[in-house]
Structure 1
Amino acid sequence: MDMPPGQNMPMSNDTNSMMMQMSFYWGRKAIVLFSGWPNDNLGMYILAILFVFLLAMAAEVLSNQPTIKRRTNPLIGAFFQSSVHFFRIGFAYLVMLSVMSFNLGIFFAALFGHSFGFFVARSRAIALANQEDKNSSSVTLQI
């Protein structure tokens, strides 16, 4: 079936046929991650936006985790870093799949979630660096 560019593309299975949006659109009628969710329910759409925002924020926060201290057992440190990587990549893929719904609300939730997560992680890193500088300068003053 030939369709003009930018139009809905039919995807069919054995029991029914559904149309998949192939261009960005604005509206609450969407399918995000799961069939029938949030569909056309405003409350569920808001929940989907919040869910994508939190997933994107978590992915950014986990991508900027602090380094492991030298005294840590290498096996435990590697397991911890692998676990964090597992969840970070899983969250990032879920965000990517959500954005593939082509819904602008979901897209902006992902952008704002990544941005806010980056802000939180970098603010924490800067605060820790300033605290370490303050501690090291106070130690040198006492000597």
Structure 2
Amino acid sequence: MDGMNTTHMNGTTAPPPPHHHKMMMMHMTFFWGTKAEILFSGWPGTRTGMYALAIVFVFVLCVLVEWISHSRLLPPAKPGVAAGILRSLLHAVRMGLAYLAMLALMSFNGGVFLAAVAGHAVGFLVFSKPEEAGGPYAWKAASDLPPMSC
């Protein structure tokens, strides 16, 4: 049997029985509601508590991106290969977290969008330094990495 058609005793063939997969509709516009799918299949599902946890996760994720963007995590070192590799790894972590936040936003859920914007705003408010207003190259004095740009 080829798995595509079913042969009956009288010699006729019929298409395979339909599979009853539970498909969740993917939104292509913003929507409001707690029934969303964010980052992983089936998460947070239909439970309001899990949706609230997902919103908190996105908020913290965005605050973390801002913290990495505005902090000095690496010890001051002379320019060299090792310092360049450490900065590259730190940049990779920051970009990975930023892309994870972007993927969460692709759920098109309004609550996730507001949590991401609020997380970035709170993170910027808490972690930015006054000297960062000094121009495009002031980041060298304030953090390990240059500011993210679109």
Q: Same fold (TM over 0.5)?
A: yes
User: How do 1:94-105 and structure 2 match up within 5 A?
Assistant: 94-105=100-111
**Correspondence for 2:124 among 106, 109, 118:** 118
**Correspondence for 1:85 among 78, 91, 95:** 91
Count how many residue pairs are aligned between Structure 1 and Structure 2.
112
The separation in 2 between residues aligned to 1:70 and 1:90, in whole angstroms, is 24
The residue number in structure 2 matching 1:30 is: 36
The residue number in structure 2 matching 1:55 is: 61
The alignment partner of 1:20 has SS state of coil
Aligned-pair CA distance for 1:23: 1.3
Seen in structure 2, the aligned counterparts of structure 1 residues 39 and 71 have a Cα distance that, compared at 3 Å, is: closer
Seen in structure 2, the aligned counterparts of structure 1 residues 107 and 71 have a Cα distance that, compared at 3 Å, is: closer
Return the structure number with greater helix share: 1
Q: Structure 2: which 5+ residue stretches go unaligned? A: 1-18, 132-150
| Residue type of the alignment partner of 1:110 | A
Cα RMSD over matched residues?
2.3
Seen in structure 2, the aligned counterparts of structure 1 residues 81 and 40 have a Cα distance that, compared at 3 Å, is: same
Seen in structure 2, the aligned counterparts of structure 1 residues 24 and 55 have a Cα distance that, compared at 3 Å, is: same
**Correspondence for 2:52 among 46, 56, 62:** 46
Cα-to-partner distance string for 1:52-91 (whole Å, 9 max, x where unaligned): 0011111112122339666446233212211211111011
Seen in structure 2, the aligned counterparts of structure 1 residues 15 and 89 have a Cα distance that, compared at 3 Å, is: farther
The separation in 1 between residues aligned to 2:80 and 2:118, in whole angstroms, is 36
Aligned-pair CA distance for 1:96: 0.6
The alignment partner of 1:52 has SS state of helix
Is the CA contact 2:77–2:83 (under 8 Å) kept in the aligned structure 1?
no
The separation in 2 between residues aligned to 1:118 and 1:22, in whole angstroms, is 29
Moved over 6 A (4+): none
Report the TM-score when normalising by structure 2.
0.66
Looking at CA atoms only, which structure, 1 or 2, has the larger radius of gyration? 2
Report the TM-score when normalising by structure 1.
0.69
